[in-house]
Chain A
Amino acid sequence: MSDFCSNNTEVISDSNYAANYQTPTRRSCLPNSGTGFSTNHISTNGIINVEALQTHINGLISANETTPPNIQEADIVTNPAKVFAEKSALLRTNITSEYCFYYKRYTYILQQILTTAATSTNLSSNGDYNTKKSKTVEINSKLNQILQILQGLINARITTLKNYYGENTGVNKLNDDLNATRSNLLEHSRLMKKSSMEHDAKSAMVDYSVEKNSSSRNLMAIYGFMNIVAAGLIFYLYRNAKSQ
């Protein structure tokens, strides 16, 4: 068995070859509860209608929470890239599991009808052969649809990458923002340095004016004392003049 199917040990028989992958606990990547696209969305050569496929891919991505991280909302989730990596890996595992599920049934049933076709006569009246033949067509269609869904998923990721590295989006926009912020930071640093120097000069002027005030205060004290002495001298002389 192929590498992608090496973990599947299920034994396929006539009782389970027609089973559907989707169960209450297991979700299919195919639309319509795992039965696949409706026939009006599939062309005669098995190609799914582009719009229907795109709609389903969008729904699948949304349902499996594998929407690529939106950088503008990166702060909402702590680590959006890690979450995306885990969810997308889970989606790939689920798709692989489903493909393997139908792949094993397809190989079983194809072997059956080829052997029957090679050995039996009057095949048109062989009911079991006809049932298995129509089921083979159905399973083959599911396998092809899964492959197309996978291709659509790859295309969606490529579109995301293009947006990430677009001219005015994603990385380039962030880098532009970063450069602009860096320029602002440099300008603010330059202004702050200048303001800081001015502040130092003004602080020195304040210290100088405080010293001038102190000097003036000392002079006032001296003159106050001298005035008291002069007034006392006048009083003394006046008393002397009076006594004479």
Chain B
Amino acid sequence: MKEPFANLDTLIDQTKVLSDMELQSYLVSLGSSKTQFMNNNVSDTMSAVTTNKSAKFQDLIDQATGADNNVVSSAYYLTRTKDLNNITKDFDAITARQQTSVEINGKIAERQNEINEWENSNKLETLYIMQILFISLSLVGIFTFLLSKELISSSLFGFLSYSVAAISVIMVIIRWRYTNVARDGRYWHKARFPRQKGATTVAPVCPTNGEPSFIG
């Protein structure tokens, strides 16, 4: 470290040697106030050093505080943005689940509608059979009435009655076979046909219930 002060007496001697009359005159004039001069110089030096040291530190610590505060503010902002992002993602996930649920419910309703339609058509089929039965019974009733009035013979009555009964039974068998063999299990109005040899396979447009397309 550089010494701020040299020995004043030596300096006076050196000044004398160098014949620096002006400085010599000043230093000699100090006389008894030499100590005061030294103290003032030391005080000034101390003041300059401490001011420099404290100002530099104060400046840096203020900068550090500012930088830390900026990081804290930014971190809060980032955290809040992330929270907002997470909330939005949660909402999105809930919405996606609800959408899936609605889609599943929609498919259930669609399937229920198919089942109801099939059931209704089956009832109509049963109704058709009952109508055939009713018509047959009505015809037989008419034949019976004619028989009771002796307008037709007993053998003709038997022939007509059995004929009507046979026709009815054949119609029932035809309908029963169509429903149980050719009719699609899911769509009432869709028939299943045997697969032809060499036929190109076309992707089905309608969904199936997994039953084989040909039974035979």
Contact = CB atoms under 8 A, between A and B. Distances in A.
Given A151-B60, A160-B71, A199-B102, A205 B92 contact: no
B78 interface: yes
A230 B141 contact: yes
Contacts of B103: 195
A170 interface: yes
B144 A227 contact: no
B68 to A, nearest CB: 4
B209 interface: no
A147 B62 CA distance: 12
B130 to A, nearest CB: 4
Interface string A101-133: 001001100110011011111110000000001
A114 B75 contact: no
Contacts of A121: 7, 9-10
A69 B64 CA distance: 17
Given A202-B106, A212-B120, A230-B134, A192 B71 contact: no
Contacts of B89: 181
Interface of B is mostly: helix
Interface residues of A, number: 92
Interface stretch (B22-30, B41-49, B172-180, B190-198): B41-49
Contact of B81 (A68, A99, A174, A223): A174
A212 B117 CA distance: 8
A175 B71 contact: no
Contacts of B7: 120-123
A81 B102 contact: no
A71 B78 contact: yes
Chain B residues touching A, range: 35 or more
A137 B59 CA distance: 23
Interface in B4-34: 4-5, 7-10
B1 interface: yes
Contacts of A189: 95
A203 B111 CA distance: 11
B75 A223 contact: no
> Of residues B58, B79, B103, B112, which shows the largest number of chain A Cβ atoms within 10 Å of its Cβ?
B79
Interface stretch (A10-18, A33-41, A48-56, A231-239): A231-239
Contacts of A233: 137, 141
A150 B61 contact: yes
Interface in B107-142: 109-110, 112-113, 116-117, 119-120, 123-124, 126-127, 130-131, 133-134, 137-138, 140-141
B208 interface: no
A120 B10 CA distance: 11
A184 B91 CA distance: 10
A47 interface: no
A214 to B, nearest CB: 9
Contacts of A182: 88
Given A81-B79, A157-B67, A107 B45 contact: no
Interface of A: 2-5, 68-69, 71, 74, 79-81, 84-85, 88-89, 92, 95-96, 99, 103, 106-107, 110-111, 114-115, 117-123, 133, 136-137, 143, 146-147, 150-151, 153-154, 157-158, 160-161, 164-165, 170-171, 174-175, 177-178, 181-182, 184-185, 188-189, 191-192, 195-196, 198-199, 202-203, 205-206, 209-210, 212-213, 216-217, 219-220, 223-224, 226-227, 230-231, 233-234, 237-238, 240-241, 244
Interface pairs A-B: 6 shortest CB-CB: A209-B116, A241-B148, A157-B67, A81-B75, A202-B109, A230-B137
24 contacts: A69-B78, A74-B78, A81-B72, A81-B76, A92-B61, A107-B50, A117-B5, A119-B35, A137-B1, A157-B71, A165-B74, A181-B89, A188-B95, A188-B99, A192-B98, A195-B103, A205-B109, A213-B120, A217-B123, A224-B130, A227-B133, A231-B137, A234-B144, A241-B147
